[in-house]
Amino acid sequence: MHGATTPEQLVLAWFGEHERDLPWRRTRDPYAVLVSEYMLQQTQVDRVVPRYLRFLERWPAVESLAGASTADVIREWQGLGYNRRAVNLHRAARAVAESGWPDDLTELPGVGPYTAAAVGNFAFGRDVLPVDTNVRRVLERTGAAFGAGSAQALFDLGAMVCVARIPRCGECPLASLCPSRGQRYEPLRKQSRFEGSFRQRRANVLRAIAAGETADDDEATASLARDGLVVVGEAGPELPG
């Protein structure tokens, strides 16, 4: 990292040596970037990579996804969790196919400020820094300022070095400048257990309905219907068309 002086330069120099090879970093296609951001919202990177590649192989363009049935999209999403994201992604693809990409990306279903900033930066080259949990942690601990071009570097630094509980300060390019160096942290919150939870019941019911099987859980079925993941007709619950 010879010649790097500012925090941003130090991080970018580190990133040049430690960048993770992730498929969505090889494209500026807004559709492909959008798919990755929906999948990454609440799912770990290593689980997303193969599913992302498979999804884009099946639906390589926004128009092809827009033309798919909601049922097929939900089935393809199985195993990624938080299936409502699949419905929102499908709705977003239909909106784009019909009207093009809106200037304000938060107009798309399921797109909040962070996802809008990420797609805006990585696909449209907008000068905005997407701040997710990892980036926010680096910003808060270091007190440093970074531009939009540092986004991917900050993602990797937060995921690999400046981790939540016991940061690896000895590996950090900002260690000599960081006021938080050497600190340890308690977890902010524990994620509720999936095993035995209502989320698991919903997942089991959706999996059964997707397979054409009987789902004997009216409460979970009603919850799925409210989210647009199933429709309940005279013949019983089924995936939306």
DSSP 83-139: THHHHHHHHHHHHHHHH---SSGGGSTT--HHHHHHHHHHTT--S-----HHHHHHH
pLDDT of residue 142 exceeding 60: yes
Q: Tell me phi and psi for residue 79, to 5 degrees.
A: 100, -15
Side-chain-side CA neighbours of residue 156 (13 Å): 19
Query: Comparing 126 with 227, which gets the higher pLDDT?
Result: 126
Q: Is the pLDDT of residue 199 over 90?
A: no
Mean pLDDT across 77-93: 95
Range 222-231 average pLDDT: 90
pLDDT at 236: 84
**For this structure, is 37 an active site residue?**
yes
pLDDT higher than 80, residue 1 = no
**Closest listed residue to residue 174, CA positions, set 2, 9, 3:** 9
Domains along the chain with CATH numbers: 29-122 (1.10.340.30), 198-238 (no CATH)
Catalytic residue selected from 8, 17, 19, 37? 37
Mean pLDDT of all residues in 169-185: 95
Residue 3 has pLDDT above 70, yes or no: no
Q: Is residue 157 within 8 Å of residue 138, measured between CB atoms?
A: yes
8 Å CB contact between 39 and 51? yes
Q: Taking 60 as the threshold, does the pLDDT of residue 117 lie above it?
A: yes
Q: What is the mean pLDDT of residues 131-142?
A: 96
The more confidently predicted of residues 63 and 211 is: 63
Cα distance between residue 241 and residue 233, in whole Å: 12
- Predicted TM-score of the model (pTM): 0.87
State pLDDT tens for residues 12-64.
999 999 999 999 999 999 999 999 999 999 899 999 999 999 999 999 999 99
Average predicted confidence (pLDDT) for the chain: 93
Q: Give 116's pLDDT tier (boundaries 50, 70, 90).
A: very high
CA atoms within 13 A on the CB side of 18: 20
Confidence of residue 153 (pLDDT cuts 50, 70, 90): very high
Q: What's the pLDDT band for 4 if we cut at 50, 70, 90?
A: low
Whether the pLDDT of residue 5 is over 90: the answer is no
